[in-house]
Amino acid sequence: MSGKLYIVPTPIGNLQDITFRAVEVLKNVDIILAEDTRQTKKLTSHYQIDKPLWSHHKFNEHQATASLIEKLRGGATFALVSDGGTPGISDPGFFLVRACIENQIEVTTLPGAVAFVPALINSGFPSDKFLFIGFLPHKKGRKTILEGIAQEKQTVILYESPHRIVKTLEQIVQYIGPETAVAISRELTKTFEENLRGTANELLNHFKKHKPKGEFVLVIGREN
């Protein structure tokens, strides 16, 4: 009898942002697959979850999947978690889920934390239709994607790191326009959470004066 894979969202900052069901699942599976075992250990220690942690991240997921599928087919139960948020959303997860489906192994995805949803609602931009892009490519393809966003009629959401936020805002100014309405959420659910709104040019000038810190969600308004 085949086992089961659970996709378990974890807090993006505040450790209380986890469901009772997620904690229960983590306590009852055989193995927890973690993007960074050191980060997940903080969560499991906090909730007194005593389960083996195996490393599963973007650098080893292709090589590790065949072995995991074999164990799942043998009846093992795994929970896949990322460092924060829902696995598969700009984090490892898709490849293993697809392999499970191809091998008729049951997959259950729990609802839970994901960074772009609170950022989208905080923005005040229309949320009935939106385009989630995640992280832009570091080099090749950035210009094409940004030029495509300029033609969009729906709200667009990007993830960005503190090292590239200024570059991304510069390119939004260049390819979409300096008066483009942008909302930025930084360090969501954490002590220093910050939500900023303004034009692309205004926010670019802000981060040129204030050193960017933390992880960012950019929400780009496309209202005409």
User: Can you give the pTM of this predicted structure?
Assistant: 0.92
Percent of all residues in the chain with a pLDDT value above 70, rounded to a whole number: 99
Both 85 and 120 in a single domain?
A: no
Q: Answer yes or no: do 94 and 65 share one domain.
A: yes
Same domain, 123 and 89: no
Indicate whether 182 and 216 sit together in one domain. yes
State whether 89 and 11 are in the same domain.
Answer: yes
Q: What is the mean pLDDT of the chain?
A: 96
Query: Across the strands, what pairs with 109?
Result: 7
18, 45: one domain: yes
Same domain, 166 and 102: no
Q: In sequence order, what DSSP letters do the residues of the chain get, joined into one string?
A: ---EEEE--B-SS-TT-S-HHHHHHHHHSSEEEESSHHHHHHHHHHTT----EEE--TTTHHHHHHHHHHHHHTT-EEEEE-SSB-TTSSSTTHHHHHHHHHTT-EEEE-----THHHHHHHHTS--SSEEEEEEPPSSTTHHHHHHHHHT--SEEEEEE-TTTHHHHHHHHHHHT-TT-EEEEEESTTSTT-EEEEEEHHHHHHHHHHS---S-EEEEE----
Q: Based on the domain organization, do 177 and 105 belong to the same domain?
A: no
- Is residue 102 located within the same domain as residue 193? no
What token pair was written down for 29? Answer: 């599976």
Tell me the C-alpha distance between 192 and 150, whole Å. 31
pLDDT score at 139: 86
Both 168 and 127 in a single domain?
yes
161 and 134: one domain? yes
Q: What is the pLDDT of residue 181?
A: 98
pLDDT digit string, tens, across residues 93-129: 999 999 999 999 999 999 999 999 999 999 999 999 9
- If asked whether residues 73 and 123 sit together in one domain, one would say no
Which of 49, 80, 109 is the last residue before a domain boundary?
Answer: 109
> What tokens does 7 get?
């996709």
CATH number of the domain encompassing residue 90: 3.40.1010.10
In terms of residue numbers, what domain contains 42?
A: 4-109
Total domains in the chain come to 2
3-state secondary structure 203-219: HHHHHHHCCCCCCEEEE
Give the model's confidence band at 26: pLDDT under 50 very low, under 70 low, under 90 confident, else very high. very high
Residue written as token pair 């080099």: 139
Q: Choose among 51, 22, 5, 28: nearest CA to 110.
A: 22
Boundary-marking domain end, from 75, 109, 143: 109
Domain closes at, from 62, 89, 109:
109
pLDDT above 70 (res 186): yes
pLDDT of residue 35: 95
**What's the whole-number mean pLDDT along residues 163-184?**
97
Write the CATH number for 122: 3.30.950.10
Residues 45-83: pLDDT tens digits? 999 999 999 999 988 888 899 999 999 999 999 999 999
Residue 224 is predicted with a pLDDT of 57
Per-residue pLDDT of 128-145, as tens digits, reads 999 999 999 988 999 999
